[in-house]
Each structure stands twice: as structure tokens, then as C-alpha cells.
């Protein structure tokens, strides 16, 4: 399908809005596969993620974001990665690279 749009309503009045140019929706599993110019924005934390692909897997409660991932939060912190996996229930973020290289990361508090 063209022009995918989805709003996730989470606890504590959090909303995550996900858009993309193209994608697929599996009616049986409720899984969504976003492709091309993917943008995900958390309206409460003002975190924005840009990527080429985002797979929202309803069956596992995770989002797999991959290919040219750029994450920016409201205080200006910036993260680039090959792949990010987000667990909505555990609120855990796993950052990885495709070629098993070490991840170089610097956390800056403003």
C-alpha cells in the first residue's frame, strides 16, 4: 500500500505516530511493515526516528527499525545505527550493527 499511517496509543497518554511512503499490513497477525521514508514520533517524549524500514510486530510487542536509522530526541541527542529493536512492554531499546561491529556510542547530558 502507499502512504502508510498509524497511531499507537500507549499508557500514560503516550502516542507514537508512524508514517511511510509504502508498506504492507498483515490482517491475520496485525503486523505492519513500513518502507521508504519511515518516520516515527513519540508525542510525549518528542523522540523522532527516521529509517528506511520499520516492522511493527503486534504478535511480539516489538518494533524492528532498520536501514539508515537516525534517532533524535527533544534535547538534541542523536543516534545513528543499522538496526534498533524496541520492546514496548519492557521499554527496552537494543541497538545493533548488521556486520557484528562494535557500536561506538557517546551519551551526552545537556
Does residue 100 carry a pLDDT above 80?
no
pLDDT digits (tens, 9 = 90+) for 44-64: 767 889 999 999 998 788 899
Please, are residues 32 and 56 in contact by the beta-carbon 8 Å criterion? yes
How many C-beta neighbours within 10 Å does residue 77 have?
14
Mean pLDDT of 67-76: 85
Give residue 104's pLDDT.
Answer: 57
Q: Is 96 left (phi over 0), alpha (psi -120 to 50) or beta?
A: beta
Please, are residues 32 and 23 in contact by the beta-carbon 8 Å criterion? yes
pTM over 0.75: yes
Does residue 89 carry a pLDDT above 70?
no
Amino acid at each position: 500500500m502507499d502512504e502508510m499511517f498509524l497511531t499507537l496509543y500507549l499508557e500514560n497518554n503516550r502516542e507514537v505516530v508512524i508514517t511511510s511512503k509504502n508498506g504492507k499490513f498483515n490482517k491475520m497477525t496485525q503486523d505492519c511493515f513500513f518502507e521508504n521514508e519511515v518516520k516515527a514520533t513519540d508525542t510525549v517524549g518528542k523522540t523522532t526516528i527516521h529509517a528506511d524500514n520499520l516492522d511493527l510486530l503486534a504478535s511480539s510487542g516489538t518494533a524492528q527499525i532498520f536501514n539508515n536509522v537516525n534517532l533524535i530526541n527533544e534535547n538534541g541527542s542523536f543516534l545513528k545505527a543499522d538496526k534498533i529493536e524496541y520492546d514496548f512492554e519492557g521499554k527496552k531499546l537494543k541497538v545493533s550493527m548488521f556486520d557484528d561491529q562494535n557500536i561506538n556510542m557517546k551519551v551526552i547530558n545537556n
